[in-house]
Amino acid sequence: MICFNKPYGVLSQFTPEGQWRGLKDFIPVPNVYVAGRLDADSEGLLLLTDDGKLQARIADPRFKMEKTYWVQVEGIPDEAALVALRNGVQLKDGPTLPARARVMETPPGLWERVPPIRVRQTKPTAWLELVIREGRNRQVRRMSAAVGLPTLRLIRAAIGPYTLDGLSPGSWREQAV
């Protein structure tokens, strides 16, 4: 399996599209496939494998593999927002499963994003750690927005036991399963 720290502006596919780059610019390994996608405007851990059963186990919500996200939000989370995230929030496509949610310091070893996020002088920002077991389209962004905290930056830090540890943006490593 390959653990890849996907930079901002890179698609979760090998072929580039429009303004977005593809994985072929970073991973010269043939016949591996993404197990769980990240949007081009999200960063962080992407797993790739040549094992179809492993790919399904990682990506399929039925297996409930936890995914840990670091979310920089606009605004300061209050206890009501954290409780709502912990209980599950109502989205247009139905309620989310309960999440683990906590306010955190800026993630250790955080790299600069290129391009940087927009910052408004009148709005403070904060970091949340959000752990979910689903994988709906843009789910973390929609969850934070549902509690009044728009996402400015989204980094997937872990998928189950696999983490970003030691990976700079655009780098990858092979990892035993």
Catalytic annotation, residues:
39
Contacts of 157 (CB under 8 A, 6+ apart): 44, 45, 68, 69, 70, 107, 129, 163, 164
